Structure 1
Amino acid sequence: MGKIIVVLEDDEGIREVMHLILSLEDYEIASYESVKQFVNREGSPPDLYILDVMLPDGNGIDVCRDLKSVNKNVPVLMMSANVSRNEIEHACLADSYLEKPFDINRLLDKVRSLVEMTN
């Protein structure tokens, strides 16, 4: 069984691209388009969370804070087209940041590096 990645991203196109790319790398992907769906998910913690900052019903930074308050061991990769790395670093304990639009190879490098942290 592959490593599990949970993606919280409201843009359907980005979710689909990430699902395809990460699935091809043998990761198991669970994706959600809203904070409500994400909060109501079931299952054990994944090996990595990938969170968008701006969501239709909430904020990925708040979700990151909540996740890190419960389990600091699961890495969080934040993504944003509108919020800077500096703002995110000061707002939550995310393990990494990816600016949108992102390069696929950069995404894969960050994911591999963060997933290795959970081994």
Structure 2
Amino acid sequence: MRMRICVLEDNNDIREIVEFLLESEQYEVFSYANVCDFMNGALTRQANAFVLDVMLPDGNGIEVCKVLKSLPETMHIPVLMMSANYSTTDANYNCSAEDFIKKPFDIVDFVNRVDLQTGKIR
């Protein structure tokens, strides 16, 4: 079974790029454009990692991360935060994310970080 990644990103272009990158690396990707859809769908996907944007139209990825880290069924799943406006310190201090990716991101670095968090061996 392929590893599953749930992505929360409101920007259509970035979401499509992330989907393409991860699918080309043989991940099964479930992507969501808003917090409501993510919370209704991602929690049932048995994900190997979550990739969350911080600034969203109906909420904040840091708050979503806090929820994920508080639930017994998702607290062990790695969270990678993405933002152009926040820093690693902000994300780690506010929600205990395993990694932070600054936008715009390097494609190879992005994939390597996801691989590291999922334990995928190349």
Rounded Cα–Cα distance in structure 1 between residues aligned with 2:52 and 2:64: 8
Per-residue deviation, 1:96: 0.3
Structure 1 residue 27 corresponds to structure 2 residue 30: no
Gaps of 5+ in 1: none
Per-residue deviation, 1:50: 0.1
Gaps of 5+ in 2: none
Per-residue deviation, 1:45: 2.4
Paired residues, number: 117
Give the conservation status (yes or no) of the 8 Å contact 1:9–1:31.
yes
SS where residue 104 of structure 2 aligns?
coil
Residue type of the alignment partner of 1:29: V
**TM-score w.r.t. length of structure 2:** 0.92
Rounded Cα–Cα distance in structure 2 between residues aligned with 1:98 and 1:25: 18
Give CA-to-partner distance per residue, 1:12-67, whole Å, 9 cap, x none: 00000011111010000000000011111162320000000000000000000000
Divergent runs of 4+, >6 A? none
Match of 1:48 in 2: 49
**TM-score w.r.t. length of structure 1:** 0.94
Give CA-to-partner distance per residue, 1:53-83, whole Å, 9 cap, x none: 0000000000000000113210000000001
